[in-house]
Amino acid sequence: MRWDIFCKVIDNHGDLGVCWRLACQLAAQGDGVRLWVDDGAALEWMAPAGHVGVQVVDWRAPAAVLEAAKGPAPDVLIEAFGCDPAPELIACFAEAASDGRPPRPWINLEYLSAEPYVERLHGLPSPVFRGPGEGLSKRFYYPGFTTATGGLLREPDLSARQEAFDRTAWLGAQGIDWQGERLVSLFCYEPPALADLLAQLAAGPAPARLLVTPGRAARAVQAIAGTGVERSGALSISCLPHLAQPDFDHLLWACDLNFVRGEDSFVRAIWAGAPMVWQIYPQDDDAHHVKLAAFLDWLGAPASLRHGHQVWNGFEAGALPSLDRATLAEWRINAQSARDRLLQQNDLVTQLRGLISQKS
């Protein structure tokens, strides 16, 4: 099959990260994929080697759009996160859909949520009433956490790779001389409780090392701790370079506690099965408050983890819960239980192919 995936970058780690993983998983199963992006700069470090079977196309290049419009239409069109693909390409897709055969699938891949509406809307059609796609129908595809949703992206060999992971060797390859201290990863925006986290780790009874991702997380730490600070009390700080997606997974597997943000890193932290705190992408109407609460409900999060999320996201004032051994042990049991539940469900690509075969 030939797939076109369209992605407009809002947060290049999340939107692009999800679409790249989807494209690679489809290509690994033998399909051809064109990934249309309006800003693919992050792929230079996210996926420096590319992937066999995935062609990245600059959506902003008129020549590329015209060339594609003259060629054969894809078998499946995926519009990621309601991004409105180029009209010329929709016209090409519509023309191919009018050749007397069953309509080609047009999938509107939505954002991940645990809210109840996801189960109600997943898989429903959405007729197109205007523009070059008039007369066609999109189909909503909602990733989610239950069997009534579209599932989560997960490579077939993910568990095997994680079981074979050598934490000490990977850390050494990153130039980190790990001496058994607690490892905490930090991938965030500018959380209100960041200063509290740094202070708690610095004052802790046992050594801890904070592994900080580049960009906003590193700048947020520097704004509090100062540029060039590598040690404060019991806390050591290591600033990492940009990591390709496989190595970002390794970072999450290596750490005893992961602070993540957005969607892609959030899902990968779930698969890591380690204690995790999620900084949800903020929305102007505060809809992210409801979205976070729905996830914590599905997770069955203990009270301390709920409180930690509320404080980390700025929904509540005050300090983070104590990140002591007992608290993290409770969080780990909760995280591993959630991962085990999800491993019993089909992954997103398997379910997506099933939906397409049913509706074709």
List active site positions: 15, 263
Nearest to 90 by CA among 139, 33, 138: 138
E strand spans, 177-227: 182-186, 208-212
CA distance 271 to 351: 18
Q: State how far the alpha carbon of 332 is from the alpha carbons of 121, 254, 256, 269, 327, in Å.
A: 32, 14, 9, 12, 9
Helical residues (DSSP H) of 260-347, grouped into ranges: 264-272, 287-299, 303-312, 325-343
Phi and psi dihedrals of 46, rounded to 5?
-70, -35
CB 282 within 8 A of CB 288: yes
CB 137 within 8 A of CB 127: yes
CA distance 168 to 171: 5
Instruction: State how beta strands 125-127 and 106-109 pair.
Output: unpaired
CA distance 70 to 293: 47
CA distance 297 to 295: 5
**Residue type, position 198, single letter:** L
CA distance 249 to 246: 5
Instruction: State how beta strands 137-141 and 208-212 pair.
Output: unpaired
CB 244 within 8 A of CB 270: no
